[in-house]
Amino acid sequence: MSEWAAVVLAAGQGRRMHSSLPKVLHPLCGKEMVRHVVDAVREAQGGPVLLIVAPGSDDLRQRLGDQVRYAEQERPLGTGHALMQAERALKGMADHLLVMHGDTPLIQTETLKRLIAQHEDSAAAITLLTSSLVPPEGLGRILRDASGQVVRIVEEEDADEGQRAIREVNGGMYAFRAEWLWPALRLLSPSPSGQYYLTDLVAIAAREGPGVSTASSVEEMETFGVNNRVQLAQAERAMRGRILTRWMLAGVTVVDPLSTYVDADVAVGEDTVIYPNTTLSGRTTVGQRCKIGPNSMLDDSAVGDDCTVVASMLEGATLESGVDVGPFSHLRPGAVIESEVHIGNFAEVKNSRLGRGVKMGHFSYMGDVQVGKNVNIGAGAITCNYDGVNHNPTTIGDDAFIGCDTMLVAPVKVGERSVTGAGAVVNRDVPPDSLAVGVPARLRKRTKKGEAGSS
């Protein structure tokens, strides 16, 4: 038997979200609410984590995989009823249970550790996390007697005016003594609307059990629960502030935190500067000494050290070091840009590798291309990679010079050190050290590099 196990309740309908997506899967800074909770719980205690889910929660099971176990709640009959579903999986497995809701994504490991330590130090049946640092609307209020002992929790909808004025609220995070909990769950009776309230356990423990103790959260907003989309936006703002603070304290300059959006799973290196109106999302990583923004979006992209990205969009792209991009360029999935490449304005790269030192300054599209080192791609040069049915590959050798407005009609190869003339439509392979000009392009005797004109 381990000391601790955890239960996360995530089977509610989330009706107040008005959404076809289960509430706990709504993302907060790019990460599902319930994953924020599960990660904090896993860090705070080493025991198993059981997620209570609604029947048919394939989406949820897929996203969380086998880091947690699952039990189903057939019908959403309330938080107390949800916890009853844990008994079969966890009875006899742990001395204490940490019980959480899947809709409180701002909770931090440190606070949960505090709750756990406090519970272990007391003889109480329940240790409850309470807070006076969150907006109390919609939350259960903590009722204490004259001596300060918790006597029960009253839900807002059942509270009278005086009770509603109480600032101390129930965070929905509890530590239970397991041997007290399982029989106590049988004492819960349904509310007039047929719901079993987990919170009623508090009155039971206060009345006849070994009592209730409380712990409080470390930071403002930690116990904030998300029941509707207004609260989702409030939680997102709080989480965003927390993430930016973490990166600023780690050496990242954020010029305007109010217009900078960094997802939970992003990493940014020291001395990087993020300019306003910039979003770093998904699993993006940015190296050291970069300048990102203003007005840039980087999603699931990896950026090396000493890169500059101005007013551009990167999705699923990789930049090695010393690359500069933008303004107004778009790097799409599979774009791999080697070191010291210059990508200027209105360039698009998809599923292509640009070799070290490539220059692609203006108005170009490179799709499904392997570009060698030190290639110059002139203004307006593009790959015609799609013939309406298939995407076809292009290869450009090292030190080639692609003239302005060249059309590379794929599949096609341009050999090393070859030159294409301005406006050439290249629909046949060009051998190394050659010059191809005209429409369609024909090979000419090569005199010196660049004679066909380019940027």
Q: Looking at beta carbons only, is 138 or 257 nearer to Mg ion? A: 138
> Is 96 an interacting residue with respect to ligand UD1 (CB under 6 A)?
no
Q: Could you tell me the smallest distance in angstroms from the CB atom of residue 134 to ligand UD1?
A: 9
Q: Does 355 bind ligand UD1 (CB under 6 A)?
A: no
Rounded CA separation 365/138 (Å): 53
List the one residue from 26, 36, 101, 373 that touches ligand UD1 (CB under 6 A).
Answer: 101
Residue 293 touches which of ligand UD1, Mg ion, none (Cβ within 5-8 Å per kind): none
Using CB under 6 A as the binding rule, the residues of this chain from 382 to 401 that contact ligand UD1 are none
Cα 339 from chain centroid?
28
Active site residue 330: no
**CB closer to ligand UD1, 16 vs 289:** 16
Residue 167 CA to residue 108 CA, distance in Å, equals: 21
List C-alpha distances in Å: 286 to 107, 156, 281, 357: 27, 45, 11, 20
Out of 90, 98, 116, 139, name the contact with ligand UD1 by CB under 6 A.
139
Task: Tell me the three state secondary structure of residue 220.
Answer: coil
Q: Report DSSP state, residue 301.
A: -
* Unique residue bearing structure tokens 């305007």: 256
Residue sitting closest to Mg ion (CB): 225
Closer to Mg ion by Cβ: residue 156 or 451 = 156
Residue whose CB is less far from ligand UD1, 171 or 403: 171
Among 104, 127, 376, 420, binds ligand UD1 (CB under 6 A): 104
Question: Choosing from 18, 26, 96, 362, which is the catalytic residue?
Answer: 362
Please tell me whether residue 324 binds Mg ion under the rule CB under 5 A: no
Closest CB to ligand UD1 among 79 and 376? 79
Burial category of 208 from C-beta neighbours within 10 Å (exposed 0-12, middle 13-18, buried 19 and up): exposed
Token pair in block for residue 363? 């108005």
Is the distance from CB of 309 to CB of 303 less than 8 angstroms? yes
Among 5, 7, 10, 407, binds ligand UD1 (CB under 6 A): 10
Question: What's the rounded Cα separation, in Å, for the pair 357 and 337?
Answer: 9
Q: Which of 6, 7, 11, 290 binds ligand UD1 (CB under 6 A)?
A: 11
Given a contact cutoff of 8 angstroms between Cβ atoms, the answer to whether 50 and 41 are in contact is no
* Closer residue to ligand UD1 in complex, CB, 133/425: 133
For Mg ion, which residue of 32, 103, 299, 368 counts as binding (CB under 5 A)? 103
Task: Candidates 97-105, 156-164, 257-265, 290-298: pick the segment binding Mg ion (CB under 5 A).
Answer: 97-105
- The residues in 210-249 that bind Mg ion, with binding defined as CB under 5 A, are 225, 227
Could you please report the per-residue DSSP string of 82-143?
HHHTTHHHHTTTEEEEEEEETT-TT--HHHHHHHHHHHHHS--SEEEEEESSS--TTSPEEE
Assess 105 for contact with ligand UD1 (CB under 6 A): no
Contact 36, 26 (CB under 8 A): no
Distance CA 11, CA 168 (A): 26
How many helices (H) and strands (E) are present in the chain, helices listed first? Answer: 9, 42
Residue ranges that bind ligand UD1, judged by CB under 6 A: 9-12, 24, 52, 73, 76-79, 81-82, 101-104, 139-140, 153, 155, 169-172, 197-199, 225, 227
Residue ranges that bind Mg ion, judged by CB under 5 A: 103, 225, 227
Residues noted as catalytic: 362
